[in-house]
Amino acid sequence: MFYSYKSAFFAALINFRNYILHLDDPPSLLKKDESLNKINFFSYLRKIVVHQINKKGIENAVVRLTTTKRNAREFLKDYNQKFEVAYLGVSLKNIYENKKRESTLNLVSISRLEKSKNLEWAIYSFEKLLRVKNFLKYFKKINLFIVGDGSDKNRLIDFANKIKVNNNVFFTGFVSYKKKLEILSQANFFLVPAVQGYGLPVLEGLFKGIPVVINKETRVSEILKNNPWVRISKNNKKDFSKNVISHVKNLYLKLPNKKFLTNLPNQLTWSNFIFKICKW
- Specify the CATH number of the domain 104-261: 3.40.50.2000
- In whole angstroms, what is the distance from residue 61 CA to residue 251 CA? 46
**Residue 34: which pLDDT band, with cuts at 50, 70 and 90?**
very low
Between 133 and 229, the more confident residue is 229
Residue type, 204: E
Residue type, 128: K
CA 211 to chain CA centroid, Å, is: 15
Of 48-52, 137-141, 184-188, 224-228, the poorest mean pLDDT is in: 137-141
Residue 99 confidence (pLDDT): 60
- In whole angstroms, what is the distance from residue 207 CA to residue 217 CA? 21
> In the chain, what are the domain boundaries?
2-85, 104-261
CA-nearest of 205, 204, 235 to 219 is 235
For 61-77, the pLDDT digits (tens) are: 999 999 999 999 999 99
For 183-199, the pLDDT digits (tens) are: 888 899 999 999 999 99
Q: At what angle do helices 153-162 and 119-129 cross, to 10 degrees?
A: 20
